Amino acid sequence: MIEKVVSDYLVVGAGAMGMAFTDVLMTETDATVTIVDRHSHPGGHWNDSYPFVRLHQPSSFYGVNSRELGNDTKDLEGGNAGLYELASGTEVVTYFDQVMNQQFLPSGRVRYLPTSEYLGDGLIRDLISGIEVVVDARKTVNATYMNVTVPAVTTPSYDVMEGVQCIPPNELPSITTTPDGYVVIGGGKTAIDSCLWLLSNDVNPEIIRWVLPRDQWMLDRAYIQPGPEFADRVMLRQVETMEIVAASTSLDQMFDRLLENGALLQLDPAVRPTMYRCCTVTSVELNELQRISNVVRLGRVRQIGLHDIDLDDATVSTSPNTIHVDCTADGLARRPIRPVFEDGLLTLQTVRTCQQVFSAAFIAHVEATYDGETIKNELCTVVPHPDDTLDWVRTTLENALNSIKWNADPGLKTWLSNARLDGFSGRGAPRQAAGPSGDDLLGRIREVTPSALEKLAAYLDEGRKVN
């Protein structure tokens, strides 16, 4: 006979989003929650991360709302020196373990089913014992919809011939024989991390080849910082960005100006990026990456043989003693938008660009506070992950529209200002610059925002017609 578990909510996925969602339910309701996940520990894909992974945003606004992550200190060395700490993958996993074992489980309101697969209709099978349980829940929360994939658990999307050395970044620190060279494949954050890791281990940049299907616009992490010492700088950057948008005469001219101003960064001044995926770097990291001159911009890899790499646009040579580092898994897949709230089902998605944990916590607060799916869905307009240049326009516009809507609701405004995970206005944000400079910046942003948003909407409209 299958055991039946009764619970208010069934949360499928104990990744960062499922954890951040449950945390707010724990704080703001007296609901009971069953959490199921295939992994043996909470934290989702962070369990499969490469050993040198770090957050690419400060720890101060990552994790769950109710518990600090990290020590609120600044890095003293490395590419992030002088800026607020970035938790390592191990720290993130330990943190989620503590949230589960020191907060959720002792509350007596959470039942956690690790190493278990959700099969649908409330049915869960333990992957080790094979024992099945059925959860009878008022609501099911799908915290798996964002479909994050990481190289360690994905096979490359191209063919790899027998004998070729092709590894995920996880295996880089285990290399025992120095190869002829390294080929890093991919244009995202994982590829950047792998290149930086090789350089930080004194690998000669001449023997690193970087296969970059698309260049990306990057954000300068120095302007994504909490703490009062960064307040003026961060706010000024936001004001200037909106002023550039409002004054721009075309989409291209706007990107030129954003580049000159430093609001956006690019790897090679001669190559216009076509991709935007919220990637952050510091100027030190960017300078390091620019030491790699052998950048292959010939499309995606189709096949790696012992002596050749076939790409979309050409074939380049390689060797059996070259290590190919596969960084092509899509950690930020674009998913079709679904309503967040449907009858008995919540589908967690981003309501602020690339801010998954904030979004999950916000959705939980809306769930706990408002009645009726219409109003809840109105408050939780989904802002899907960005991918291309036009998505910078779209996400800047949609984030701003969501913020304006939220701040018009006094209850939500108060919640946001107390939310640790809100890196823009909450406890994780830089404190407002005090005195005349702060007032001046606030005045400037209020004045320019309407015309900037109008301009963004027009560019988006134009761009959609062209595409």
Ligand X SMILES: Cc1cc2nc3c(=O)[nH]c(=O)nc-3n(C[C@H](O)[C@H](O)[C@H](O)COP(=O)(O)OP(=O)(O)OC[C@H]3O[C@@H](n4cnc5c(N)ncnc54)[C@H](O)[C@@H]3O)c2cc1C
Kind plus residue range of the DSSP H or E element containing 245: helix 231-247
CB of 50 to ligand X, least distance (A): 8
144 or 318: CB nearest ligand X: 144
55 or 412: CB nearest ligand X: 55
Span interacting with ligand X, options 39-47, 203-211, 361-369, 441-449, rule CB under 6 A = 39-47
Q: Looking at 17, 26, 192, 460, which residue binds ligand X (CB under 6 A)?
A: 17
Please report whether residue 18 would count as binding ligand X according to CB under 6 A. Answer: yes
Any residues with CB less than 8 A from the CB of 136 and at least 6 apart, and which? 4, 5, 6, 7, 122
CB of 95 to ligand X, least distance (A): 12
| Residue 18 CA from chain centroid, whole number | 15
Please report whether residue 330 would count as binding ligand X according to CB under 6 A. Answer: no
The answer to whether 50 and 169 are in contact (CB under 8 A) is yes
Size of the site for ligand X (CB under 6 A): 32
CB of 44 to ligand X, least distance (A): 2
CB of 356 to ligand X, least distance (A): 4
Q: Looking at 96, 118, 223, 370, which residue binds ligand X (CB under 6 A)?
A: 118
Distance CA 211, CA 322 (A): 14
Please report whether residue 62 would count as binding ligand X according to CB under 6 A. Answer: yes
Question: Coil, helix or strand for 270?
Answer: coil
Distance CA 170, CA 164 (A): 17
Please report whether residue 12 would count as binding ligand X according to CB under 6 A. Answer: yes
Distance CA 175, CA 172 (A): 6
Q: Looking at 9, 56, 95, 416, which residue binds ligand X (CB under 6 A)?
A: 56
User: How many C-beta atoms surround the C-beta of residue 129 within 10 A?
Assistant: 9
Please report whether residue 53 would count as binding ligand X according to CB under 6 A. Answer: yes
Q: Looking at 32, 44, 181, 388, which residue binds ligand X (CB under 6 A)?
A: 44
Span interacting with ligand X, options 31-39, 178-186, 210-218, 250-258, rule CB under 6 A = 31-39
CB of 378 to ligand X, least distance (A): 23
Distance CA 390, CA 275 (A): 9
Please report whether residue 146 would count as binding ligand X according to CB under 6 A. Answer: yes
Span interacting with ligand X, options 2-10, 22-30, 348-356, 458-466, rule CB under 6 A = 348-356
Kind plus residue range of the DSSP H or E element containing 185: strand 181-185
CB of 440 to ligand X, least distance (A): 31
Question: Coil, helix or strand for 216?
Answer: strand
CB of 354 to ligand X, least distance (A): 6
Please report whether residue 384 would count as binding ligand X according to CB under 6 A. Answer: no
Please report whether residue 10 would count as binding ligand X according to CB under 6 A. Answer: no
Please report whether residue 394 would count as binding ligand X according to CB under 6 A. Answer: no
Site for ligand X in 243-262 (CB under 6 A): none
Distance CA 335, CA 383 (A): 10
Distance CA 403, CA 377 (A): 15
The answer to whether 366 and 380 are in contact (CB under 8 A) is yes
The answer to whether 295 and 214 are in contact (CB under 8 A) is no
CB of 158 to ligand X, least distance (A): 20
The answer to whether 288 and 202 are in contact (CB under 8 A) is no
CB of 99 to ligand X, least distance (A): 13
Checking 162-166 for CB contacts under 8 A at 24+ apart, the result is: 163/306, 163/320, 164/304, 164/305, 164/306, 164/320, 164/324, 165/320, 165/321, 165/322, 165/323, 165/324, 166/304, 166/323, 166/324, 166/325, 166/326
Between 171 and 190, how does the x/- string for binding to ligand X read (CB under 6 A)? ------------------xx
Distance CA 322, CA 166 (A): 9
Distance CA 293, CA 285 (A): 15
Please report whether residue 150 would count as binding ligand X according to CB under 6 A. Answer: yes
Span interacting with ligand X, options 9-17, 224-232, 369-377, 422-430, rule CB under 6 A = 9-17
**Residue ranges binding ligand X (CB under 6 A):** 12-18, 36-39, 44-45, 53, 55-57, 62, 117-118, 143-144, 146, 148, 150, 189-190, 331, 354-357
